[in-house]
Amino acid sequence: MTAEHTAPTSPPQGPHQQPRWAWWVVGIVVPVAGILVTVLLSNPGSSGDDKSDKGAGVAGSVRSEPTTSSSSASSGRQPASGAPAGRVRFGPAVVDADTTNSGSYIELDTSQPIVSGTDIKGGDIIFGASIGDPNLFVPGSASNLARMPASGAAPTAEECAESVDRNDTYTANVKRGDRFCLRTDEGRVAYLRVVTAPSSGTGKLDVTVWETPDA
C-alpha cells in the first residue's frame, strides 16, 4: 500500500503587526493630548473672564470722568472768587433820603445802601438841595455820574458802564423821572431813577447796583 505524499502545512500566522512608525506617533500624540486636556480643565471659561475684565475697565474709565461743572471749574472758565459782571447786587428798590439843605450821603457798595445825614467814608452820591434845586453830587467831584435818556428801557450794567465812560460828570440837577448811571467808589455800576425830588423832605431814588469782575 502506497503512502500518499502530503504537503506539510505551514504554521498559523500570528496577528498582523503594526509598522514601527505608528507606535512612535501614538507615543507622541497621546501625551500631548493629555497635556492639552489638563490645561483646558485648569482654566475654565478663560475667554469669558477676559471679556469681563475688559468690560470692567471701560466702566471704570467712564465713572472716573469728571462732570461738566467740575471740568468748567478746573479749566478756569468760571471765576474762582468774586461775582460775575452783570449780576445784580441790590435792587431794584426805592431808597429814601432827606434832601433838606446839604442832603444825604448814600453808600452803594454795601449789601444794602447806607443813607447818612453826614459825610461817610466811601459815600458814592449825595442827594440834596444845597443850592436851591434838588441835585445829585459825587463826593470829591469825581466824574462818576452820567445822565441817561428820560425814556426807554432801563439800561443794563454794560450800558451804564459805557455811559459813564462817555458822558461822565460829577453833578446834575434832578427832577422826577430823571435817570442816571453811577460808578461807585469800589468800581461797581449803579442805575438811579428819580422817583421824587423835593427841595426839602424825603426824596426817593429807585436804585439798582450790579457787581463788576473785580468787585
Report pLDDT digits (tens) over 56-78: 333 322 222 333 333 333 333 33
pTM: 0.60
pLDDT digits (tens, 9 = 90+) for 26-49: 566 666 666 665 656 555 554 444
| Burial grade of 198 (CB within 10 A; 0-12, 13-18, 19 or more) | middle
Q: Which residues contact 124 (CB under 8 A, 6 or more apart)?
A: 106, 107, 108, 109, 138, 139, 144, 182, 184, 185, 190
pLDDT digits (tens, 9 = 90+) for 15-27: 555 566 565 555 6
Question: Average pLDDT, whole number, for the chain?
Answer: 76
Provide the pLDDT for residue 131: 75
Which residue, 201, 203, 163, is CA-closest to 180? Answer: 163
Phi and psi angles of residue 197, each rounded to the nearest 5 degrees, phi first:
-145, 70
Which residue, 127, 119, 138, 137, is CA-closest to 99? Answer: 127
Distance CA 204, CA 194 (A): 6
Distance CA 92, CA 207 (A): 5
Provide the pLDDT for residue 71: 34
DSSP state at residue 204: E
pLDDT digits (tens, 9 = 90+) for 111-127: 999 999 999 998 999 99
